[in-house]
C-alpha cells in the first residue's frame, strides 16, 4: 500500500485579461493580487488579446493579455480556494455586472500545468464549490505540450516557452 505524503509546492501562475484603462486601476489590481497571493515575481508586458472574441461582448475592447508568476509557492490542494478568490477580485473590478478583469489561475509543476475553471467538461476534475481543474499542458521530452482541449493562447509556443522557463525554479523541490 502506498503512503500518502504532503504535496510538493507549485508555482501560482495567472493569466490576466483586462480592459482597465487607468494606471491607478492596474496598480490597485496588482496590490490586491499581492495582498492575497504574495509578491509578484514577474508579469509579462501586456499584449493585445487576439485569440478569440468570446470576451468582447462582456468586457469590451481592446482586451489586453499578460501572464503573472507569483513568488510564493503554493500547496496544489488550494487551487479551488485560489479560483474562488480570483472570482471575488473579478467582481470587485466589474462595472454594471460586466467584468473588466478576467483572472485564470493555474499551478505550474515540473510535469504539468493545470488551470482552474468554473466550467465542467469531460476532461476536467471536480475540486470543490463548483471549481474544476484542467490539465492544460504536460511536460515531456524537454518541452510543454498542449492537449486537444488546451486554449490556443496557452498552447502557443511563446506561452509554453515562458512556462518552461518559470518551471525551472521549482524543479529541484520535486525530485
Q: DSSP string spanning 117-167?
A: ES---TTEEEEETTEEEEEEEEEETTEEEE-TT--HHHHSHHHHHHHHHHH
- Torsion sign over Cα 119, 124, 126, 128: negative
In order along its 175 residues, the chain shows pLDDT tens digits of 889 989 999 999 999 999 998 899 999 999 999 999 999 999 999 999 998 888 899 999 999 999 999 999 999 999 999 999 999 999 999 999 999 999 999 999 999 999 999 999 999 999 999 999 999 999 999 999 999 999 999 999 999 999 999 998 875 554 4
Q: What is the CATH number of domain 10-170?
A: 3.30.70
For the whole model, what pTM was predicted?
0.93
Amino acid at each position: 500500500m502506498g503512503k500518502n505524503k504532503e504535496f510538493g509546492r507549485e508555482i501560482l501562475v495567472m493569466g490576466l485579461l483586462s480592459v482597465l484603462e487607468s494606471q491607478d486601476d492596474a496598480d490597485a489590481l496588482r496590490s490586491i493580487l499581492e495582498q492575497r497571493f504574495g509578491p509578484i515575481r514577474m508579469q509579462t508586458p501586456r499584449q493585445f488579446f487576439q485569440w478569440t472574441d468570446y470576451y468582447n461582448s462582456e468586457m469590451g475592447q481592446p482586451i489586453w493579455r499578460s501572464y503573472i508568476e507569483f513568488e510564493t509557492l503554493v500547496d496544489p490542494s488550494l487551487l479551488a480556494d485560489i479560483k474562488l478568490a480570483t472570482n471575488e477580485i473579478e467582481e470587485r473590478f466589474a462595472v454594471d455586472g460586466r467584468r473588466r478583469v478576467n483572472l485564470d489561475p493555474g499551478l505550474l509543476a515540473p510535469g504539468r500545468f493545470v488551470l482552474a475553471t468554473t466550467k465542467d467538461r469531460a476532461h476536467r476534475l471536480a475540486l470543490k464549490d463548483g471549481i474544476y481543474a484542467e490539465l492544460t499542458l504536460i511536460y515531456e521530452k524537454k518541452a510543454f505540450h498542449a492537449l486537444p482541449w488546451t486554449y490556443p493562447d496557452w498552447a502557443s509556443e511563446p506561452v509554453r516557452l515562458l512556462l518552461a522557463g518559470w518551471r525551472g525554479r521549482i524543479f529541484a523541490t520535486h525530485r
